Amino acid sequence: MNTTANNAFETLGLEPRFDLDGKLLAERHRTLSGKLHPDRYSGRPASERRMALDRAIQVNEAYRQLRDPVRRAESLLTAMGVPVGEQKEPKASPSLLMEMMEVRESLDEARQQKDLDRVGALGEEMRGREEAIMRRLSAMFSEAGDDPDQLKAALPILGELRYVRRFFEELEAIEEALMDA
């Protein structure tokens, strides 16, 4: 594995894998953040305070990277030599693009009608889809092991997860706007 992916996992003392226990991840972050809190280093020499601050920054970045399933998958794939990034990955299938366009149109209609219940229902449908995608990605990483050729098959699934995540960003903005109205 490359050092970027390894460092995030190593920083938090976790095994490099896609299927992480969110509670354990948060616990590791909280524990390390507490140990590195600036108050613990207030009477220490400037070099120690700086080292603790640098380490705290690493811990926070590792946590952000591993907490996000897209970034976590990208890190693992990159570590295995599989190029990632929307420009390097296969294009989304026309059927996925059509599905996403239709669900976003439904979301826009619900927004225009100020139908918060429909917005919530669309969100629930997408959460179910996200859970299914996460299960597929987890299985893909488990079954492929360290084989980059098998891991390439995870790229379309990762792309689908990105589309779902973008939907959630739009959904949150609409929910916030409708609740404020």
Q: CATH number, domain at 170? A: 1.20.1280.20
| 103 vs 1 pLDDT, higher one | 103
> What average pLDDT does the structure give for the chain?
91
Same domain, 55 and 125: no
In Å, how far are 46, 74, 130 from 100, measured between CA atoms? 52, 22, 13
pLDDT confidence tier of residue 149, bands split at 50, 70 and 90: confident
Q: What is the reported pLDDT for 3?
A: 46
Burial 98-124 (b: 16+ CB within 10 A, else e): eebeebbeebeebbeeeeeeebeebbe
Please tell me the distance from the alpha carbon of residue 95 to that of residue 35, in angstroms, as a whole number.
49
Closest CA to 159 of 83, 105, 85: 85
Any idea what the Cα angle at residue 67 is, between residues 3 and 87, rounded to 5°? 65
Residue 150 belongs to some domain of the structure: yes
- If one counts the domains in the chain, the total is 2
Of 32, 51, 67, the domain-final residue: 67
User: 0.85 exceeded by the pTM?
Assistant: no
Please tell me the distance from the alpha carbon of residue 25 to that of residue 12, in angstroms, as a whole number.
8
Q: What is the reported pLDDT for 87?
A: 84
| pLDDT over 90 (residue 164) | yes
In Å, how far are 7, 36, 61, 135 from 4, measured between CA atoms? 5, 21, 11, 24
Mean pLDDT for 139-167 is 92
Question: Interhelix angle for 155-180 vs 94-112, to 10°?
Answer: 0
Same domain, 159 and 101: yes
Q: Which two tokens stand for residue 115?
A: 């139908």
Residue 73 belongs to some domain of the structure: no
- The answer to whether the Cα torsion of 73, 77, 80, 84 is positive or negative is negative
Same domain, 100 and 150: yes
Same domain, 42 and 120: no
Residue 88 belongs to some domain of the structure: no
Q: What is the reported pLDDT for 5?
A: 52
Cβ-based neighbours of 135, under 8 Å, separated by 6 or more:
none
Q: Residue 7 corresponds to which amino acid?
A: N
Residue 86 belongs to some domain of the structure: no
Same domain, 58 and 130: no
Same domain, 54 and 122: no
Residue 77 belongs to some domain of the structure: no
Q: What is the reported pLDDT for 31?
A: 96
Q: What is the reported pLDDT for 79?
A: 85
| 37 vs 106 pLDDT, higher one | 106
Q: What is the CATH number of the domain that holds 19?
A: 1.10.287.110
Residue 122 belongs to some domain of the structure: yes
Residue 173 belongs to some domain of the structure: yes
Q: What is the reported pLDDT for 40?
A: 86
Same domain, 41 and 119: no
- The answer to whether the Cα torsion of 58, 59, 63, 66 is positive or negative is positive
Neighbours of 45 (CB within 10 A): 9
Domain hosting 25: range is 3-67
